[in-house]
Amino acid sequence: MLIRTVLLCLLSLVAAGGDGNGNGNGKSNGNGKSNGKGHGKQPGRKPNIVLIITDDQDAGTHTREIMPRLFDRLVDNGVNYENFFTPVSLCCPSRVSLLRTQAAHNHNITNVELPHGGWVKFNNAGYVNHTMPDFLQAAGYNTYYVGKYMNDQTDKNCVDLPVSGFNASDMLVDPYTYDYWKPGFSVNNGPVEIHENTYSNDIVAQKGLAHLDSALASDRPFFVGFAPIGPHSYMNSTLRLSGSGRLYMDTPEWPERHDHMFKDAKLERTESFNPDEPMGVSWVKTLPKLNESNVEYLDEFYRGRLRSLQSVDEMVGQIFDKLEAAGALDNTYVIYTADNGFALGTHRRQPGKTLAFEEDIKVPLAIRGPGMPKGITDKVSSYGIVDLSRTFLDIAGAKPDYENDGTKINLHLGEGKLADKQYSKHRHSLTEFWVRGIEEGKFVDASYRENNTYRTLRVHDQVDGKPVTYSYHVWCTGERELYNLVSDPYQVRNILAPLNELGKFPAFDAGDVLDAQTQRVLHRLDALTLVLKTCKGQSCVEPYTTLFPSGKVNTLKDAMNRRYDEYFAALPKVHFDFCMLGYQSRLEQPEWKDELAFK
């Protein structure tokens, strides 16, 4: 306990001492306690950050059986966050939220390519030189990155549109990004270098470990990002280049040494797996039941995902070996996460993401670092990628030059069982989507799904002393979904399905269809969505304070008080006028206005 307290004090010193110019660590160099390389536990030295971010890894694959080294080295020695979400279930927008510490409705990079997203839109938006790594550099960090950075960074534009904020970088560029056996990298913003017949995840590991060596050789604190494409679907770069032939996202590839693994693995046949009745809303409810060959393909696809993660797991082990050998582990935060989730077969789906079910939005988050408790699971808080980005900034004492939407993740939970009881204020997360849905795999008949625009709120809180978890989705089609995840963890019973059929929206005058308590919950969830869908800065972190400026209401539990029933019922309801691509705010009126706050 004493050691922990001392560490916590050191940490606060570090946070207080960061001057934003990188001079915070100079005084401690060569103070005798140093291990010679300058990366041991030294008073006043800012901690290092090592980020491992995988591509399309759902929280369901974040297990010890699948990733033993990750669990041995990181999870068992740190905190596992059970409720961690992507802001947008698509690589590019999610990665932009990480780089910009912003909700998607504030950065407005909403797709993987023009006109609504991708690297060119990111450049046009003026975000280059204003990203989290730029701010870490300004705070004295050496910064390195290897792997997938952003979609639509291509062999054609990688020299003319350089990335900012890194001392050295090896970015995977299109059309080679998802070609496991022919990856192409832009090294330090140079022209593409193609690696024939070498496994992508292994090159990412090798290049990243070399960056880690450079980082460890310097006296400055560092950020190193490892972004392998595993377990993303495979795309053949030759076919992508030629634009001809059958082009689809197929089973991920793995190296020969993992051929023997997971031979018997199968997707879990949960309640939502290929159900007899159609489910969900919009295009999802039109999906036919999958036949046997399709289901077999999904199982094989799943095994490919697990095998492609093995090289990532090996990389995690190598990262820890290196940090340990350098004596740097005690002053380094190591973070494992993914950009968005992935679904296979649930609700009759082909492989893919882009929806708001748990499989699509829930991703791994495990953090090990100085002073953090070991082997604890935070089951209480709810955080997202934007908060992770904010946490990096706070660890480094760095500041963006614009308003950011994140809150620092609670890294220092109480020991043992305390963590389960601790009441964290941050219990909500917003996921947004404004472009077409995408399905993957060889059985996909349409390349895109129209009408895939929605706003989703996920709340994990307490009502009447009992834990509640709700997932509330408002769609551009006028439909809504509400799932009670405590009684319906697989999201097979949309509580609002009867209202969708009756066209009861947006007023929710539904006392005849919903029980009174559900109706009260619905009004509260909609109000939170109303605030969050245009939130900026602190209102994204504390939406209840926006509704109740008095500060007396901070949680769903507080908000459920009957004295607020009339207030919540009278608030305007979130809805879209119709489905359109891109974030079109005029179609999403009303917007929250401070006059709507409780008086």
Q: Are 529 and 574 in contact (CB under 8 A)?
A: yes
Find the catalytic residue in 91, 158, 540, 579.
Answer: 91
In terms of CB distance, is 112 or 372 closer to ligand NAG?
112
**SS3 annotation, 343-390:** ECCECCCCCECCCCCHHHHECCEEEECCCCCCCEEECCCCEEHHHHHH
Residue whose CB is less far from ligand NAG, 164 or 555: 164
In total, the chain counts a number of residues equal to 599
Q: List for the chain the helix, strand, coil content (%; round to 5).
A: 35, 15, 50
The DSSP code for 50 is E
Closer to ligand NAG by CB, 350 or 424: give it.
Answer: 350
User: Please, what is the minimum distance in Å from the beta carbon of residue 578 to ligand NAG?
Assistant: 5
Kindly report whether the peptide bond that precedes residue 590 is cis, defined as omega within 30 degrees of 0.
yes
Give the nearest distance from C-beta 465 to ligand NAG in angstroms. 40
- How far, in Å, CA of 363 to CA of 448, rounded? 24
Residue 30: HSE in the Cβ half-sphere, 13 Å Cα cutoff? 2
Q: Provide, rounded to whole angstroms, the least separation between the CB of residue 579 and ligand NAG.
A: 5
Taking the CA atoms of 210, 216, 217 and 223 in sequence, report the sign of the dihedral they define: positive
For 564, what's the count of Cα atoms within 13 Å in the CB-facing half-sphere? 21
Least distance from ligand NAG to the Cβ atom of residue 580, Å = 9
For residue 444, give the DSSP letter. Answer: -
Question: How many Å apart are CA 517 and CA 134, to the nearest integer?
Answer: 48
Between 43 and 115, name the residue whose CB sits nearer to ligand NAG.
115
**Least Cβ distance, residue 423 to ligand NAG (angstroms):** 35
Q: Is 11 helix (H, G, I), strand (E, B) or coil?
A: helix
Which positions touch ligand NAG (CB under 6 A)?
108, 115-116, 128-129, 137, 142, 164, 167, 181, 218, 236, 238-239, 245, 283, 291, 293-294, 443, 450-451, 477, 578-579, 582-585
Comparison of 103 and 527: residue with beta carbon closer to ligand NAG: 103
* Alpha-carbon torsion, ordered 239, 242, 243, 248, to 10 deg: 0
540 flagged as catalytic: no
Q: Which two tokens stand for residue 75?
A: 């999870």
Q: For ligand NAG, give the closer residue by CB, 115 or 191.
A: 115
Q: Are 378 and 413 in contact (CB under 8 A)?
A: yes
- What is d(CA 441, CA 444) in angstroms, rounded to the nearest whole number? 6
Block residue for tokens 């080294």? 69
CB nearer to ligand NAG: pick between 59 and 326? 326
Q: Give min distance, CB of 244 to ligand NAG, in A.
A: 8
- Residue 312 parent element (H or E): helix 292-325
List the one residue out of 234, 255, 236, 252 whose CA is nearest residue 244: 236
Q: What amino acid positions are annotated as catalytic residues?
A: 91
